[in-house]
Chain A
Amino acid sequence: MSDVPRPLKIAGQSVRRRDLVEKVTGAAEYCVDVTMPGMLHAKVVRSDRAHARILEINTGEALAHRGVVAVVTAADLKPLFPRFGHIIADHWILASGKVRYYGEPVALVVAESLADATDAAELVRVDYDDLPAVLDAEEALAAGAALVHEESYPATADDSFKILAGGVHETDASVEDRPTNLAHEVTLEWGDVDQAFADAAVVVESQAGYPMLYAYAMEPYNAVASYGDGELRVVSTAQHPYMVREDLARVFGLPLAKVRVIAPYLGGGYGSKSYTKVEPLAALGSWVTRRPVKLVLDIEESIYTTRVDSAQVQVRSAFAADGTILARAFDIVMDSGAYADNSPLVLAKCVNRCFGPYRVPNLRVRGRSVYTNTAPASSYRGFGAPQGNLAGETNLDRAAEQLGIDPADIRRRNLVAKGESLLPGKRGMDAELVADLDMVVASLERDRRDEPGYGIGFGCAASDAGAFPVSTAQVRIQTDGSVTVLSGSTEMGQGSRSLLAQVAAEELGVDLDQVAVVQSDTAITPYERTTGASRTTTLVGLALQRACADARAKIRQMAAEVAGVSPESVADAPGGVELPDGSTAGFGDVVQRWFGGSAGEVTGIGLLRREGPTQEMPPFWEIGMVGVGVDVDLETGHVVVDQLVTVADVGFAVNPKAVEGQDLGAATQGLGAALYEELVYDGPQLVNANVVDYRVPRMGDLPRKIDLMLAERRDGVGPYGAKGAGEGTLNPIGGAVAAAVARAVGRWPTRLPLTPERVWRLANGIEEDD
């Protein structure tokens, strides 16, 4: 990493993404395409109760069915560690003693064919004794509520959770000794909030409900596992194969080195494939049968496997007459479902992100993640930010209205400046937020129409992103000078495979087509903590730059030895070295001559941890700046998105078109949550656990105008000044749409999605009966 800016040749170009060719021909291998020799197929038997004691599981009939090899139940878990969960290991692989939600795995039927497994799964009889169930957070928090978990579980030793979650004065109040349905509680406080409210010119109070969502990655959760000889090999749809490896090693009591997790191309992730899902089930099937077992969920089962935390947020903000924020207070309640999974971190992030990228001198946030007898919730793109941001931004817009201040001006007045602290003890703001906002507003105003039913809205977000900065990368220089890049990060559509090739080609001065990238195989590729939080460009990029520098240093040393000159006299050249006599030698030449013959290889290693540029947390702030213009049909409540405007403040776009693609994709998912998407429980069961009734954006919903702008000020810590992208534009979309609709119909919504019925009610002042 030299500080001297040099002209970039490959980084910064919208190069053709190499994975796309494989994908358009149908040759790309996804997990669901993977088979293993002698493979069996598994089908999960699921609970049809929200909360019930399991009296008996009768497997006889299923076992007698043609082709059935085993029916696995919690009884088979005895010799194993029966639960997983990287923060709280509370998640039973198969329900033991009782079921905690409709859809919970109770047994696993393993058979020669999927048809046999599916048929036999119908024959497993489970006798239950129903227990009172808590189906939403309010019920779960009520005094005397039925308990989802009677016991508390010791936290796992993952101390980086604390560092990731950490704001100041944060107290982790997981209740250990008095069991309630509170899964996790986080508070964040500074200043004298009560005094500030007492001194305020205006106090604005509002609430916002963020819907229960399903990420709908089109490839459902699936895995193929093979256990034998004290080794476990799993191919799965995991975003973070290394984290899954840890869970599996704990479950089966195996050394990490004996657990191999491979993640091929992922058919979408968006955070929903973070952490362990179906891998323990597939592995358990193989452990029992000693044959490879494949488990593919359908979409309904995937919805019941992981959904998004819904949230109810109460906000109070105190303002001076000129719109300066004096204090903010938030109360967040998240419905996290039957198991904690990653919800504690989602909650902590929501707490850090709810008050927006503003100067808030006095702040009090209380967040609670609550167990309910519903499908477990976990990470989703944006990580708590969309839930919190909706509440904070809507409150700010309402304040602007009450104070008679332009909504852009109230933001300009309060946005933190570059370098200014947003969260005490954290990295100062590394972006120019007012400039970004101005770009959004200018574009929106250009095409705004002053007509009844038309409204614009915009929003700002800043997320402490990037996750924990631990990353490793390797480059292997071959005898012909071509380069293999190894990274544990996962290609889930975001384009990391192509991006890493660009960085390596740039650093080593070789052609892009001389670089191959191998990813996400814990037995082959070096450690990568996670692929999420928009971290790959910045953190893996840095590790890869270091690996390239290491390879170059080794090659210079070897060239010096071969030529009999001092290493200091050898200089770098594109694709090779320059010797003191002015001659150059390619990488391949040097490798071949040093080893002798035409053999050999040189490996460069890059390690990244919390030090130097990545000492301060977060590694970067991920900015979300968006605006929308909507046309509301006041008769029907139907909302058409007329304008979608985004600014991606990415520091430097290694592949600008790929960044644009991420932005439009994230914004579109945000529009889905704002206008259409919501999982609805009616009693113990979801009424819309399918893609027919759970409506996601379709092509006909395309906004009329889409303006995707890039702000590249090279102000990130990543390669060439890059910062992460991929979530930012999702985070503020909900608030922007809520404001636009409010301005179009004259009343402020208190929950998303803004379905035609809700908008019609809002326009006509008719309460929702719910």
Chain B
Amino acid sequence: MIEAVSFLPITLTVNGVEVTRVVEPRTLLADFVRDDLGLTGTKVSCRLQVCGACTVLVDDLPVSACTYLAVDADGADVRTVEGLSDGENLHPLQEAFVEKFALQCGFCTPGFLMMSKALATENPTADRAEIIEHLEGNICRCTGYRPIVEAVECALARMRKVPSE
């Protein structure tokens, strides 16, 4: 059974850089950024949209890249964990995660960071309950979550003081 495979060209911005690639229509955004672009910071675990590990931002909104087609990101502005810091200093969320020991193995972390980044944009004054509700779709098997909540609280507070972030 040899099927003809059609490929489609897509052009999108990833972490501020415009890229054009030809992909199979079934290619998932997570595999596209990891395999085609070599941005392996985005992690994949459940592949069922329930663990949040693969979360990236598409036009500032968080999506599960494990179930999002790369072709649907055509023309979009995609941000992955590699695009979170400015390359010199850690983003306040990253800094707070390190300080508060909000990760151990780190496999869930890129997803938590991107999900939290979306919260920072959407609701910069989120309180503890709102943080927990927002992050309910992300699984962490190592930390028991409390340090993550603390890190996000701390980062949001710092970002409110320095609003440029």
Contacts and interface: CB of A to CB of B under 8 A. Distances in A.
7 contacts: A21-B98, A29-B40, A218-B45, A267-B107, A696-B139, A699-B149, A700-B136
Nearest to A215: B141
A217 interface: yes
Most buried by A among B97, B144, B146: B144
A446 interface: no
Interface stretch (B69-77, B80-88, B156-164): B80-88
A561 interface: no
Interface stretch (B47-55, B57-65, B119-127): B47-55
Given A661-B143, A664-B144, A702-B149, A268 B107 contact: yes
Contacts of A65: 1-2
Nearest to B143: A665
Contacts of B26: 115
Given A270-B141, A702-B145, 17 more contacts: A19-B106, A21-B94, A24-B97, A24-B109, A33-B40, A66-B3, A215-B141, A219-B105, A267-B105, A268-B107, A269-B105, A657-B101, A665-B144, A696-B139, A697-B144, A699-B138, A699-B145
Interface string B1-12: 111000000000
Contacts of A299: 45-48
Interface string A1-27: 000000000000010110111011111
A19 B101 CA distance: 11
Most buried by B among A218, A268, A668: A218
A27 B24 CA distance: 27
A33 B45 CA distance: 13
B1 to A, nearest CB: 7
A698 B134 CA distance: 12
Contacts of B118: none
A61 B148 CA distance: 50
B105 A266 contact: yes
Interface string A691-715: 1100011111010001000000000
A667 interface: yes
B46 A665 contact: no
B154 interface: no
Contact of B143 (A33, A66, A266, A664): A664
Contacts of B2: 64-66
B98 A493 contact: no
B145 A668 contact: yes
Contact of A661 (B82, B85, B104, B132): B104
Contacts of A482: none
Nearest to A34: B40
A603 to B, nearest CB: 30
Nearest to B96: A24
Contacts of A699: 132, 135-136, 138, 140, 145, 148-149
Interface in B14-32: 24, 26
Given A19-B106, A24-B97, A26-B80, A219 B144 contact: no
B105 A218 contact: yes
A24 B133 contact: no
B146 A698 contact: no
Most buried by A among B40, B53, B99, B101: B101
Contacts of B148: 699
A28 B145 contact: no
Nearest to A115: B24
A23 B101 CA distance: 12
A382 B145 CA distance: 21
Nearest to B93: A24
Interface in A652-709: 657-658, 660-662, 664-665, 667-669, 690-692, 696-700, 702, 706
Given A661-B147, A691-B50, A698 B139 contact: yes
A383 interface: no
Contacts, number: 171
Contacts of B80: 26
B103 interface: yes
B142 to A, nearest CB: 5
Contact of B146 (A32, A270, A706): A706
Interface size class of A (residues with CB under 8 A): 35 or more
A219 B44 CA distance: 8
A667 B109 CA distance: 20
Interface of A: 14, 16-17, 19-21, 23-30, 32-33, 61, 64-66, 115, 123, 215-220, 265-270, 298-299, 492-495, 657-658, 660-662, 664-665, 667-669, 690-692, 696-700, 702, 706
A402 to B, nearest CB: 35
A20 B107 contact: no
B1 A16 contact: no
B101 A702 contact: no
A267 B149 contact: no
Contacts of A691: 45-46, 48, 50-51, 139
Given A23-B106, A24-B97, A493-B105, A698 B141 contact: no
A494 B142 CA distance: 9
A363 B76 CA distance: 68
Contacts of A692: 46, 48, 50
A658 B48 CA distance: 31
Contact of A25 (B1, B47, B53, B94): B94
Contacts of B90: 21, 24-25
Contacts of A698: 136, 139, 145
Given A20-B106, A23-B106, A218-B45, A700 B133 contact: yes
Given A299-B47, A493-B142, A702-B145, A24 B103 contact: yes
B101 A17 contact: yes
A24 B94 contact: yes
Given A665-B144, A696-B141, A25 B46 contact: no
Nearest to B100: A657
A267 B45 CA distance: 10
Nearest to A220: B45
A56 B120 CA distance: 58
Nearest to A217: B141
A218 B44 CA distance: 8
Given A218-B108, A691-B50, A20 B103 contact: yes
B71 to A, nearest CB: 15
A332 B101 CA distance: 38
